Amino acid sequence: MLSVFPPGSTNIPALDAHLFSESIHTHMSPESSLNWGDVIEIQGPAASGKSHLLYWLLITCISQRSSGGWDKSAVLIDTDGTFNAHRLFRLLRSHLKSASDDTVSNALRRLHVFSPQSSTQLIACLAHLSAYHETKLSGEEIGILAVDSISAFYWPDRFTVEQMRSVGDRAYANPLQSVLVMLRRFQSSHRPVIFLTNWGLHPLPNSPFFKQHLHPFPSPFAQASAEKLSLTHHITLSLTADKDRAQESELAEETEEEKPPSDRETCTRLVGLVRTPGRQRVSRFSLCIFSDHIVAG
């Protein structure tokens, strides 16, 4: 049964402000910047923080409402094979620092991770996700479905397509088409918020954005077309050129004197630009990534 309540917000103030102002919301809640069924692409070059942004969003989804979370289940499809369970646990433990061990364990149990090794396995995973939900998550709602990354099988799939076409099989379709069909089907039936990370391979001239290298992946800022899966918002990530020598107190608006110099910790600042198809506004947000926690800027 689909929820009558909206999913919630990202808990990143600048990002939520953009989502509130640029979206047509299907609900009246002032506490949810997202709609059920939203599809958000997160694009950026290697080491730009795509996975850490996903960790933040997944933690928000699986955390209880009293900690600012959605109290929902989440599904992560780890196609890159880079999911770090220990890292996510440390971030979750820090986020729920005043919570009991049972509360943290209950939150972790809401996260379900799959690791397909090819586009064929990814398609099968998505095709059977409804059955998994019915048998393993009965009574639970899937708040987030995340694929990290939708680009993972780009090169082997491209090679296969070129090989098939070189022998005259022009009808051979890129497996990504079936991936998008399966995502759209699950979006229609279960209405999770979908996050798809994507490589940023080809920077646009004189622009902080990237050309879409995947076909037939949605590219709403380059051309208008009927897509198998429509993007609601697009996030482009980058890291600041240098790691900031910062401390959490600066982000929490404390004074320099409130913590001794020994407490200073290296912060890697993730910077995101968010756009909404059909709108002109581009908004900026940031996250500061520390060794065991993340702080929204």
Which residue range forms the structural domain that includes residue 229? 13-245+268-296
289 in a structural domain: yes
How far apart CA 100 and CA 141 sit, in angstroms, is: 23
Residue 249 has pLDDT above 70, yes or no: no
257 in a structural domain: no
The confidence score (pLDDT) of residue 241 equals 42
134 in a structural domain: yes
Residue 172 burial (10 A CB sphere; 0-12, 13-18, 19+): middle
260 in a structural domain: no
Domains in the chain, number = 1
155 in a structural domain: yes
For residues 233 and 16, the answer to whether their CB atoms sit within 8 Å is: no
8 in a structural domain: no
Task: Express each pLDDT in 54-108 by its tens digit.
Answer: 999 999 999 999 999 999 999 999 999 999 999 999 999 999 998 999 999 999 9
How far apart CA 27 and CA 5 sit, in angstroms, is: 8
The confidence score (pLDDT) of residue 223 equals 60
Residue with the larger pLDDT of the pair 125 and 1: 125
The confidence score (pLDDT) of residue 224 equals 52
93 in a structural domain: yes
- pTM comes to 0.88
How far apart CA 283 and CA 285 sit, in angstroms, is: 7
Task: Express each pLDDT in 34-48 by its tens digit.
Answer: 999 999 999 999 999
The letter for the amino acid at 241 is A
Task: Express each pLDDT in 128-143 by its tens digit.
Answer: 999 999 999 988 999 9
For residues 238 and 45, the answer to whether their CB atoms sit within 8 Å is: yes
How far apart CA 141 and CA 37 sit, in angstroms, is: 13
Identify the CATH number of the domain in which residue 31 sits.
3.40.50.300
83 in a structural domain: yes
Residue with the larger pLDDT of the pair 124 and 224: 124
> What is the rounded average pLDDT of the residues 20-29?
83
Residue with the larger pLDDT of the pair 135 and 251: 135
Q: Which of 78, 160, 159 is nearest to 112 (CA)?
A: 78
pLDDT band at 164 (very low <50, low <70, confident <90, very high): confident
